[in-house]
Amino acid sequence: MILQIALILSVLLQFGAFFITIGLIPKTRFNVSWIMISIGFLLMALRRFVDLLELYASNPDKEAMLISHWMAVAISLLMFFGAFYIRRIFQLQNEIDRERKNNEARVLTAVIKTEEKERQRFAKELHDGLGPVLSSIKMCNSALFASVKNQEHQKIVGKTDQAIDQAILTIKEISNKLSPHILERYGLEKAIKTFFQELHITDRYQVQMNIQLHKKRFDYNVELILYRIIGELINNSIKHASASAIDLSLVLHPQKLQLMYGDNGIGFAPAISSSQGMGLSNIRSRIKSLDGNIEITSKKNQGVFFKIEIPIS
């Protein structure tokens, strides 16, 4: 009776080990060797089942039969616990991979934050340092214009005044690009629309824009990275892709922000790195720092399409 119970238990354990190995096949990326091991577990489970049938059909008192059955029980126990600990190895590997991924994201986030701090510092120095100097030069030039009587000289002074105004405006634009104050004050939607307006590309390109954020604000790091990514994509379309149409969609979904961007430019092979000036490596790094994902679809002379999803709490 004890042998029968033990053999029934061994059959159950063997099938349990088989189902554990089957469940691990996707994690091994359908490795042929692991599939073969799984089949071996199945065959051994069937063998234990046959042993159980033989036990009921024959005389169980024979010594050889007893040894065989008890060995079957031991093998079943070893196979079951072996499969169990193999699963633990895979679980540990998953934990290691998850921790490594989190560490990479933290490092990328730290690098990006350091970069943004340097941008902000440089923008402040540019605006607060060079801006007042140019304003002083403009005041002196205006005073000079009032004292000059010669019309030719007045023209020169006037052109100098215009150049100073252009320099002041350029400094403001550069400062804003380095540290977008509108993004910090008014949010991502307003910053993106202002970015398009300042580029004045709507007169030369067909621009379709769909932004549905429902006036919500997000973590500043998320907003800043998406703003930088969109700026990089637009820059690629204008300077590298020779596109005539741009389609941008930024929509808030439950638990994620979805950015879809496309143009009708010359396209490129997605496998090619940023060595061709597309800045893909920079974009991927920024997305990775937010634990997001990116899909790129492009063919030569058929434009490009980006689908980017960023998880949000």
* Three-state helix/strand/coil letters over the chain: CHHHHHHHHHHHHHHHHHHHHHHHCHHHCCCHHHHHHHHHHHHHHHHHHHHHHHHHHCCCCCHHHHHHHHHHHHHHHHHHHHHHHHHHHHHHHHHHHHHHHHHHHHHHHHHHHHHHHHHHHHHHHHHHHHHHHHHHHHHHHHHHHHHCCCHHHHHHHHHHHHHHHHHHHHHHHHHHHHCCHHHHHHCHHHHHHHHHHHHCCCCCCEEEEEEECCCCCCCHHHHHHHHHHHHHHHHHHHHCCCCCEEEEEEEEECCEEEEEEEECCCCCCCCCCHHHCCCHHHHHHHHHHCCCEEEEEECCCCCEEEEEEEECC
Query: What is the residue type of 172?
Result: K
pLDDT given at position 310? 93
Range with the lowest mean pLDDT among 120-124, 160-164, 181-185, 279-283? Answer: 120-124
Please tell me which residue, 201 or 35, carries the higher pLDDT value. Answer: 35
- Tell me the chain's radius of gyration from C-alpha atoms: 34
The distance from CA 1 to its chain's CA centroid, rounded to whole angstroms, is 60
* Identity of the highest mean pLDDT range in 36-45, 235-244, 286-295: 286-295
Dist. CA 146–CA 134, nearest whole Å: 19
242: which 2 tokens?
């020779």
Asked if 69 and 55 count as a contact pair (C-beta separation under 8 A), the reply is yes
64: which 2 tokens?
């050889």
Query: What is the residue type of 250?
Result: L
| Band of residue 258 on the pLDDT scale cut at 50, 70, 90 | very high
Q: Which residues pair with 249 in a beta bridge?
A: 210, 260
| Band of residue 69 on the pLDDT scale cut at 50, 70, 90 | low
| Band of residue 293 on the pLDDT scale cut at 50, 70, 90 | very high
141 pLDDT exceeds 90? Answer: no
Dist. CA 205–CA 301, nearest whole Å: 17
233: which 2 tokens?
């994509």
178 pLDDT exceeds 80? Answer: no
How many CB atoms sit inside 10 A of residue 212's CB?
A: 11
pLDDT given at position 55? 66
Dist. CA 45–CA 73, nearest whole Å: 11
pLDDT in tens, 181-240: 778 788 888 888 888 777 666 567 788 899 999 888 898 888 888 988 998 898 888 888
pLDDT given at position 274? 45
pLDDT given at position 72? 65
Dist. CA 229–CA 296, nearest whole Å: 14
81 pLDDT exceeds 80? Answer: no
pLDDT given at position 286? 86
pLDDT given at position 113? 75
pLDDT given at position 57? 66
**Mean pLDDT to the nearest integer, 76-98:** 75
How confident is the prediction for the chain on average, in pLDDT? 77
What are the φ and ψ backbone dihedral angles of 307, each rounded to 5 degrees? -125, 115
* Identity of the highest mean pLDDT range in 149-153, 194-198, 271-275, 293-297: 293-297
Instruction: Report the share of the chain in percent with pLDDT over 90.
Output: 10
pLDDT given at position 79? 66
pLDDT given at position 275? 45
CATH code matching the domain that covers 182-311, chosen among 3.40.190.10, 2.40.30.10, 3.30.565.10, 3.40.50.180: 3.30.565.10
pLDDT given at position 92? 80
pLDDT in tens, 164-177: 888 877 777 676 66
State how far the alpha carbon of 124 is from the alpha carbons of 100, 129, 138, 163, 220, in Å: 36, 8, 21, 22, 19
| Band of residue 262 on the pLDDT scale cut at 50, 70, 90 | very high
